[in-house]
Structure 1
Amino acid sequence: MRNFSSLSVRRTAMGLALAGAFTLAGAADFAGRGVFNFKSDAGCPFAALAGGGSECNRLALDDADTHAALDAAAHTIRFASTRSYPEKTIVGDVLLQGSGRARDGQRVPLTFHALLSRSGTEWSVSSHAHSPVSGEFDDIRIDPYKVTVNEPSTERVMLTPEQIVEALARPSLAARLANVFVQVDDNRADGARDADITIGLGLSRASKSVARARFRAPGAKGRDLAEAMQQGNWTLELQALSGQIPRQVVQRDLFLYGLESQSLLQPLLQRGFRKNEKLLLGAANGKGYIRYDGQQREFAGADAAARAFLQDSFIGLVLGWQQQQPQTAKTKADGR
Structure 2
Amino acid sequence: MLDIRFEKTTAPKEIPDEDNPLVFGTIFTDHMFLMDYEEGKGWHDARVVPYGPLSLEPSAMVFHYGQEMFEGLKAYKTEDGRILLFRPDKNIERANRTNERLCMPEIPEEDFLAALKAVVKTDEEWIPTKEGTSLYIRPFLIATDPFLGVRPSNTYTFIIILSPVGAYYPEGLDPVKIWIEDEYVRAVKGGIGEAKTGGNYVASMKAQVKAHEAGYSQVLWLDGVERRYIEEVGAMNIFFKIDGKIITPQLNGSILPGVTRDSVIQLCKDWGIPVEERKITIDEIYEAHKNGILEEVFGTGTAAVISPVGQLRWENHIMKVQDGGIGELSQKMYDTITGIQLGKIEDTKNWTVEVK
Higher strand share: 1
**Computing the radius of gyration over CA atoms, which structure comes out larger, 1 or 2?**
2
Fold conserved (TM > 0.5)? no
**TM-score bracket for the superposition, by shorter chain length:** under 0.3
User: How high is the TM-score relative to the length of structure 1?
Assistant: 0.26
User: How high is the TM-score relative to the length of structure 2?
Assistant: 0.25
